[in-house]
Structure 1
Amino acid sequence: MSADFNDSADSHSHSENRRRAAEQWPGFEPEVALHWSKVLLHHSPDPQRAGIKAQMSSAIKRGIPIAGPGWVSTADAARSDGFTPVLYQTLFDTLQSIPRTAFRSHPGHRQNRHGTYLPGTPYESELWCDWPKLFLVEGFDAHAATTLTLLRAEPKFPRPRSNN
């Protein structure tokens, strides 16, 4: 009898998670929405309070897809450019290995900050749209694809003016 009860509870939890995903992540399958939630929790486009992120993390660990401000539009834009949650995570992991001082085009220069919140880094489609092709089709490793993308974008970002 308890096995039936647990199966029923799991089924209810699964259907509730599907409903929440449909509400918060329109156009995304629940499993994909959950995966984007996990990635964007760590690479959110907007600043977030640490306490809120901790609550979101707890919900995500329970299998509940969560959408913070700008998450769905970020995931949708990135998906349109050929990113999956895994590729998006790979890009941002690689960006952490490249000092922002190395490139004017590095998104670390354009992080969204607000008081004591954890900063957010916006997804810039015009900058990253070719990254999946470089990585998946042209065979560049993640670091090389990221470096090449940043290098190609340098002319779009003016040099800071000096006081001399």
Structure 2
Amino acid sequence: MSADFDDSADFHNDSAKRRRAAEQWPGFDPAEALRWSKVLLHHSPDPQRAAIKAQMSSAISRGIPIAGPDWVRTAESARLDGFNPVLYQTLFESLRTIPKTAFRSHPGHRQATFKTYLPGTPYESELWSDWPKLFLTDGFDARTATTLTLLRAEPKFPRPRSNN
């Protein structure tokens, strides 16, 4: 569950960075790949070891786009739903303000965790595809758009069974 990471010195060369971006981020230009790398480092769809994330962060801060497992698929899916890296970060930052106990549909319930890894929260297109419209077109603030999206999704997530 680690990212493909190579920290050789030739990545300081712009053509090497473009080549790396084209290899790891097909269909993304290098600048967009770097922006998605920065966002997905903090809002990763998959769990990662802290040491790997630190190495990835170092490379990203030097302008090297990095792709962890499922990052490109996540970015492609989110992009098709109308997200760009800024909107994606805005969504996940607004989720941090909403306790996962408030909604059964909250993705915090589906976080992937392993004992020695930082957790990952998968992007769920069926849940978030309307979020950009609520935020950009309908004019809701990020937290309200997130709350409305979670509220609309509640019927899709069954109540836990009780012993009563």
Q: Tell me if both proteins adopt one fold, taking TM over 0.5 as the criterion.
A: yes
- The letter for the 2-side match of 1:141 is D
Q: Deviations over 1:37-73 (max 9, x none)?
A: 0000011111000000000000000000000000000
* Pairing of 1:14-163 with structure 2 (within 5 A): 14-163=14-163
Distance (whole Å) between structure 2 residues aligned to residue 14 and residue 53 of structure 1 = 23
Structure 1 residue 111: deviation in Å? 0.3
Structure 1 residue 36: deviation in Å? 0.2
Distance (whole Å) between structure 2 residues aligned to residue 66 and residue 97 of structure 1 = 28
Structure 1 residue 90: deviation in Å? 0.1
SS in 2 for 1:78: helix
Distance (whole Å) between structure 1 residues aligned to residue 65 and residue 39 of structure 2 = 11
The sequence identity of aligned pairs, in percent, is 80
Structure 1 residue 122: deviation in Å? 0.3
Distance (whole Å) between structure 2 residues aligned to residue 61 and residue 125 of structure 1 = 28
Q: Deviations over 1:11-42 (max 9, x none)?
A: x7111111100000000010000000000001
SS in 1 for 2:46: coil
Normalized per residue, the structure richer in helix is: 1
SS in 1 for 2:56: helix
Structure 1 residue 135: deviation in Å? 0.4
Q: How many residues align?
A: 154
Structure 1 residue 155: deviation in Å? 0.2
- The letter for the 2-side match of 1:35 is R
Distance (whole Å) between structure 2 residues aligned to residue 13 and residue 145 of structure 1 = 41
Distance (whole Å) between structure 2 residues aligned to residue 16 and residue 62 of structure 1 = 13
- The letter for the 2-side match of 1:81 is D
TM-score where L is the length of structure 2: 0.92
Q: Greater CA radius of gyration, 1 or 2?
A: 1
Distance (whole Å) between structure 2 residues aligned to residue 13 and residue 83 of structure 1 = 30
Structure 1 residue 131: deviation in Å? 0.2
- RMSD, aligned α-carbons: 1.1
- The letter for the 2-side match of 1:70 is D
- Report runs of 4+ in structure 1 exceeding 4 Å deviation: none
TM-score where L is the length of structure 1: 0.92
- The letter for the 1-side match of 2:60 is I
